[in-house]
Structure 1
Amino acid sequence: MPETKALSEPQKALLKLGLARDIDLALHLPLRYEDETRIVKLRDAREGETAQIEATVTDIQVQYRPRRQLVVTVDDGSDTCVLRFFSFYPSQQKALAAGTRLRIRGELKGGFLGWQMVHPSWRPAGGDLPEALTPVYSTVAGLPQAYLRKAVLSGLVRADLSETVPTDAPPAPAQATRWTLRDSLQFLHHPTSDVSLAALEDHSHPAWQRLKAEELLAQQLSQQQSRREHDALRAPPLAALRGGLHEQLLAALPFQLTGAQRRVGEEIATSLARDRPMHRLLQGDVGSGKTIVAALAAAIAIDAGWQCALMAPTEILAEQHFRKLIGWLEPLLAPRGLRVAWLTGSQRKKERTEMLALVASGEAALVIGTHAVIQDQVQFKSLALAIIDEQHRFGVQQRLALRGKMQEPGREPHLLMMSATPIPRTLAMSYYADLDVSTIDELPPGRTPVVTKLISDSRRDEVIERIRGQLAEGRQVYWVCPLIEESENVDLTNATATHEALSGALPGVMVGLLHSRMPVPEKKAVMSLFTGGQMGVLVSTTVIEVGVDVPNASLMVIEHAERFGLSQLHQLRGRVGRGAAASACVLLYSAGDSGRVGETARARLKAMAETNDGFEIARRDLEIRGPGEFLGARQSGAPLLRFADLLTDTALLEWARGVAPAMLDRHPALAAQHISRWLGGKSEFLKA
């Protein structure tokens, strides 16, 4: 066997950046550019600009005050400039000896004592000036720019950059059609010095437009191919029976469904009746009634003789669903000899073994739980419908695991994913192109609008006074503290301190504390006291973000609101206003040492105060955070767009959506080449 050569440090670093293939290198585009095409005289330079000069060293010395530094004075014939180096080696001192002529590039700072540059780049003067701007690439430790530039250049030379967009495809929006892929890449790696730097940096240059069109096309091809593969699979057709469980559940409900709930319920029922697996996202604002729609879908599956699984991200939320669904369904299931099973990580072994037996025998028609539902030892007898709540909180692997619980090859269960974080249209077109989307766009009657107030942390006493007023009227209050992973210990200490302060300020009132580190039985005990009305104030980290339903709670205070994401703030606000009482959400913000709230945080707080509409909130959240963060890059697995911007490139996205199906039909080889070029192995993630 031939020996495999050990990789050098820069080669390992290239792989760490995901640059394994020639095409990966060719598509690793510069972050910015440096203009080394001209030399300026110091007398013509401007304060703050990055300039390249040629000058002779007139003096060099090591100074020790105010800190050790190498100070080199140079003269270009028009003026002098001082170069300061805070880290330096003897070899550098030798190379910068008096009389040496240098080519120097750095940011010029002008002061009372004349021009200076701190840590400029330099080399011996002479040699031709480059004709193109010098690219600067994003890199990692152990991978110098010079090595990366050479690697990118060789990748660019070797990569297959043949055209994959078919000649019979409709032309892309104007600017994207002027350049070929090869021309675009060669230009963007080495742009001529006469090009507008602004057009390069804001990605508006035609070469950028071409790349964005190709990237969006790759994403659409991958999504639509995934949809076709998915449609080729088979699932059990589940028809709603006349007079069956679905109708019995509707008749037994103590409330009427809204028009939106009925419409969405019919969309789901139509999909379930087909023999193709449903792959549907059910989105609706906080409190719009998604759980009952899911229960009606479960009733159809159970009626047809199959099992249904519902998975939620937290035990509190799973238990909330469990209570509601048991109340609605168990009276109808018991006469049929069927049960609702409950599976979580904190269960005792005896109870868990009993539940696993119920699931395996098929006696548990509905299985509700957390990640425990997808563990290997959970064997369903006949799973036909998988429901995932707050789907964005689960990773791709977990969704695939739940879909893999069906025993028969070539078949998979119908999948219903629920989300209270509505997906803006451009995101749905792009990242969810392989899903059907159903939207509940109407709140049940009797929900009171929540008034949102922004209040500075310095007015905390007024907020506590407001709490007293609510408690006097027999209402309950949430006080939410942030919990950020990096500062978890500090945050838990703050939550505990807030709990003590409120207990002291509200004598005679039961004030509870709930956080992620508490044992599950303790969490349940606290929640049941609050749900039962005995506890007046609940101090909590974001464990109560989703699913908690206490209609008597009419005030929510969110401490350090500037540290929360927009959709998270909206989810939290949705915990109040669930009854008939007028409700309010107070966003307590802290301006910190600077006395100012950051720009992004200010935009989030402003959006919260201005609208209660989850879809508008989602649109603004996408504007503020961009799609990567909005989707949660870690969990979504969706290859995030590197070049295109969903907010500004909608015309290119529309073009890609139109071209993709025809390309898959008429040019399958080109489509495969295009997907491979742009996505490599990442397209697998889009199939979840």
Structure 2
Amino acid sequence: MSFFDTSLEFLKGVGPQRAALLQKELKLFTFGDLIQHYPFRYEDRTRFYSLREVNELMPFIQVKGKITDIELIGDKFKRRLVAYFTDGEGEIELVWFQGINWVMQKVKPNVDYVVFGKPSRYGSKLSMAHPEIDVLTEKSEKGGYLQPVYPLTDKLRNRYIDNKFIIKLQQDLLKAAISHIRETLPASIVQEQKLIGKKEAIINIHFPRNNEWLLSAQRRLKFEELFFIQLQLIKLKLVRQGKFKGMVFSDTAILTKFYKEHLPFDLTNAQKKVVREIYTDMKSGKQMNRLLQGDVGSGKTIVAFISILLAIGGDAQAALMAPTEILAQQHYANLKKYADKMGIPIALLTGSVKKSARKPIHEQLVDGTLKILIGTHALLEEEVKFKKLGLAIIDEQHRFGVAQRSKLWQKNADFYPHVLVMTATPIPRTLAMTLYGDLEISVIDELPKGRKPIKTTHRFDSHRLQVNGFIKTQLEVGRQIYMVYPLIEESEKLDLKHLMDGYESIARAFPDVPISIVHGQMKPEAKDYEMARFVKGETKIMVATTVIEVGVDVPNASVMVIESAQRFGLSQMHQLRGRVGRGAEQSY
């Protein structure tokens, strides 16, 4: 066993109970996990400010000086501790509302302290709530370092596992680990890319000497991560091309029948191009592994159905796997319309399908009478066996790991099914090659006739009344609205509070409008119930966290307001934007 596989409980200061907490809350099991638990930001401790230059607009600052007096103000729940702090040039009040007894034991007048926190103004006085305070030492007087801030949870803080504690653990671990850190990249690459060594990178990601070293450490670790992802993907691709035979599907009779009799509209040129690429793959004798990328509403579903028909024409079966139950149900409803016209058996299998209903599905899959199966992760279960799975379609791939994808492949004994992965997130081609290097890429880059591009605008908080006015006009013409709130990783309680505050302010602004609310802490049944009400049009406004980002199809919802948009990632924003613009109306 290597040094980095050692269990965390054997690190000084941890022990079995804390180790169990760190496992549960942060998924940290070993020395290796902890050393790769990197800070998410750094506090600038490189200089001391004079209180004369401090104002309430400044971010976190560091000052040194003495406490002249301490007093307890208020009683019971309104109790607060105030310490009057001066550096000889100015004064600031340090205020504590919690942990008062502990602070009173620790803090004494006329001792030199270093204080770190966010200044604010209360009336005419400067104050700092719950600052970090430490006795001034020779080392801290020199200042001059960037302090790491690590991801934590409320539960850990309540058990006194705070940032200081994690810093201490990292310092102890680094001392012991230094001799065990090996260089992982070839010297030629390190030189060519002008990277720092692995050892330097690990030290400086936790305790950077200065900003330059921090940037070098981040660059080195990011490069390494992507480099190994690439290596793995290239290996996968080479192995697959050499080893994996695919079924040959060249019979297009059933497809021609569908085109002539049941295709409800003409395909766009982009759709035709993609269908040709898929057909070429499926008749080549090699396993297809293709990423189909297209904005929401560009018509990926019909392309998926055409691919399914190719497989069925070759006397095989097809499966479509979606990340959520609602999305699976929508795919089922959309594809069933076409399948019924063609007389092709189709079924839906999700976690909520009862055991009695599963049995006939399993039997029909094995004897080959069931041709199309739509579902969620439930498709990966052991008892789901196909007679001959010819095509596996995976929707919103970034929600499934590679392991889950390959589980679906292994449903066939003799050869792998063709794989089509669909996504609505427009990934730049170079990035797509990095993330999905084992996939060929097809893009549907035009919208069907009659669809209008979505108008995207940015508004500040000061425009809230105008935004509400705009929502009102949209509601009056019968549209539905999404209001999306961010998840802020630092605290689940805070997330819920933001969402509930938002819900209340919307309920006040639109007192007569029925509103749905959906968030991650609701039970799945409650979530599905609220979603279903919105889909049916019983509620007009949906207040939600990002749980709606994958696949809710409400053509009548034409406006989405995203609060604190800076907290979302780019792919999340695209996913969210994809929830509107599903009908012929102009969407915003």
Greater C-alpha radius of gyration: 1
1:598-631 deviation per Cα after TM superposition (whole angstroms, max 9, x unaligned): xxxxxxxxxx5xxxxxxxxxxxxxxxxxxxxxxx
Distance 1:489 1:539 in 2: 17
Distance 2:128 2:177 in 1: 38
Taking the TM superposition and a 5 Å limit, the aligned residue runs for 1:517-596 are 539=540, 541=542, 546=551, 548=553, 556-558=557-559, 562=563, 566-577=573-584, 583-585=585-587
- AA paired with 1:181? K
The reply to whether residue 416 of structure 1 matches residue 420 of structure 2 is yes
Q: Which residue in the other structure is 2:364 paired with?
A: 358
The reply to whether residue 250 of structure 1 matches residue 259 of structure 2 is yes
- Which of 198, 201, 204 aligns to 1:181? It is 198
Taking the TM superposition and a 5 Å limit, the aligned residue runs for 1:318-467 are 318=328, 321-322=331-332, 325-329=335-339, 339-344=345-350, 352-392=358-398, 399-408=405-414, 411-447=415-451, 456-458=467-469, 462-467=473-478
Q: Which residue in the other structure is 1:632 paired with?
A: none
Distance 2:102 2:533 in 1: 68
Distance 2:360 2:84 in 1: 79
1:302-331 deviation per Cα after TM superposition (whole angstroms, max 9, x unaligned): 222321112345666545544554554556
Q: Which residue in the other structure is 1:136 paired with?
A: 148
1:536-579 deviation per Cα after TM superposition (whole angstroms, max 9, x unaligned): x88475989847587xx6xx4537554896335532323211xx
- Which of 245, 259, 262 aligns to 2:269? It is 259
Taking the TM superposition and a 5 Å limit, the aligned residue runs for 1:146-185 are 147-162=168-183, 164-167=185-188, 171-172=192-193, 176-177=194-195, 179-185=196-202
Shift of 1:287: 2.4
Q: Which residue in the other structure is 2:73 paired with?
A: 64
Shift of 1:362: 0.6
Distance 2:246 2:16 in 1: 53
Check 1:149–1:83 CA distance in 2 against 1; reply closer, same or farther (3 A cut). Answer: farther
1:229-252 deviation per Cα after TM superposition (whole angstroms, max 9, x unaligned): 5445524322312x5333443343
- AA paired with 2:253? G
SS in 2 for 1:354: helix
SS in 1 for 2:449: coil
Check 1:320–1:158 CA distance in 2 against 1; reply closer, same or farther (3 A cut). Answer: same
Distance 1:563 1:45 in 2: 31
Contact persistence 2:293–2:441 (CA under 8 A) = yes
The reply to whether residue 287 of structure 1 matches residue 308 of structure 2 is no
- AA paired with 1:180? G
The reply to whether residue 302 of structure 1 matches residue 312 of structure 2 is yes
Shift of 1:346: 5.3
- AA paired with 1:133? Y
Check 1:370–1:539 CA distance in 2 against 1; reply closer, same or farther (3 A cut). Answer: farther
Distance 1:305 1:482 in 2: 45
SS in 2 for 1:158: helix
Distance 1:392 1:339 in 2: 29
Distance 1:62 1:376 in 2: 67
Shift of 1:440: 0.9
Contact persistence 1:106–1:117 (CA under 8 A) = no
- Which of 3, 7, 14 aligns to 2:15? It is 7
Check 1:267–1:103 CA distance in 2 against 1; reply closer, same or farther (3 A cut). Answer: same
- AA paired with 1:443? L
Q: Which residue in the other structure is 1:122 paired with?
A: 134
Distance 2:581 2:380 in 1: 29
- AA paired with 1:259? N
Contact persistence 1:326–1:340 (CA under 8 A) = yes
TM-score, normalised relative to structure 1: 0.61
Shift of 1:301: 1.8
Q: Which residue in the other structure is 1:660 paired with?
A: none
- AA paired with 1:182? K
- AA paired with 1:584? Q
1:443-478 deviation per Cα after TM superposition (whole angstroms, max 9, x unaligned): 2334455678996224665445434xxxxxxxxx55
Shift of 1:385: 1.2
- AA paired with 2:270? A
Distance 1:444 1:114 in 2: 60
Contact persistence 1:233–1:277 (CA under 8 A) = no
- AA paired with 2:145? L
Check 1:272–1:27 CA distance in 2 against 1; reply closer, same or farther (3 A cut). Answer: same
- AA paired with 2:586? A
1:172-230 deviation per Cα after TM superposition (whole angstroms, max 9, x unaligned): 2xxx44x33334444555544xx4x4x56xx6x44443333333323322333343454
Shift of 1:414: 2.0
- Which of 231, 236, 239 aligns to 2:249? It is 239
1:481-540 deviation per Cα after TM superposition (whole angstroms, max 9, x unaligned): 76999489999999999999469xxxxxxxx9999858999999997xx7xxxx9x8847
Residue ranges of structure 1 left out of the alignment (5+ in a row) = 468-476, 504-511, 578-582, 586-607, 609-688
Contact persistence 1:483–1:492 (CA under 8 A) = no
Distance 1:281 1:416 in 2: 6
- AA paired with 1:362? G
Distance 1:521 1:120 in 2: 46
Contact persistence 1:25–1:155 (CA under 8 A) = no
Contact persistence 1:285–1:440 (CA under 8 A) = yes
- AA paired with 1:311? M
SS in 1 for 2:477: helix
Distance 1:523 1:118 in 2: 41
Identical counterparts, % of pairs: 26
Q: Which residue in the other structure is 1:650 paired with?
A: none
Higher relative contact order, structure no. (Cα contacts within 8 Å, ≥ 6 residues apart): 1
Distance 1:495 1:113 in 2: 35
CA RMSD of aligned residues (A): 5.1
SS in 2 for 1:121: strand
